[in-house]
Amino acid sequence: MIKTTLIGLAVAGSIAGCATVAADTDYGRVALQMMKADFMTKGPANAERVFQQDEIEQVCSDASQTVAPAVSARLEAAQLASVVYPADGKYFGDWKAGEAIAQNGRGLQSSDAVGAVNGGNCYACHQMTKEEISFGNIGPSLYNYGKLRGQSEPIVKYTWGKLYNAQAYRACSNMPRFGHNGILTQAQLKDVMALLLDPASPVNQ
């Protein structure tokens, strides 16, 4: 999806700067060449993420086609198989640390130090607590997430999987693959799990 958007912007810019354009111009190829020439890795902002996509990124970036249900199912199964569950069997950390992660939108920017700890920026897309009045609505409200769902093994494993790799449950989801792409560490994921499911967490008040 990122690749498609960037290519579209590059194409628009190239068209605007040209008085005449050859009818047989492959705009996608030209735009990709421009991007590869101009986009550079700086710090943890890795330009290769734009150009080296895995299969599900390639499929979801192709705005010219609708993903067939059978293809979605196959991609989701492959993503689910990639989820790494805690080796110690412990899924919960500290919900207070999880709240700090949810509030933190920094990470993987060119100005950040390589290896710096990232945030989850959860509030950018979700309501999570009644105290926080500033939140996005791209994703569903997570307020009372654990209170409504409990802590059964299927719920715990689903929640972990969703945080680790959201594409495992809905191909082309807008939600980042926090664990799969190494955005959050396993310890951080445990803290966010506690934020969502711990009865004492403000999410469940």
Domains defined for the chain, CATH in brackets = 2-64 (no CATH), 95-204 (1.10.760.10)
Mean of pLDDT over the chain: 89
Torsion, Cα of 90, 96, 101, 102 (10° steps): 100
pTM for the whole structure:
0.82
Query: What is the tens place of the pLDDT at every residue in 117-132?
Result: 999 999 999 999 999 9
Nearest to 191 by CA among 94, 90, 84: 94
Report in angstroms the alpha-carbon separations of 150 from 29, 146, 154.
50, 5, 10
Instruction: Give yes or no for residue 99 having a pLDDT over 90.
Output: yes
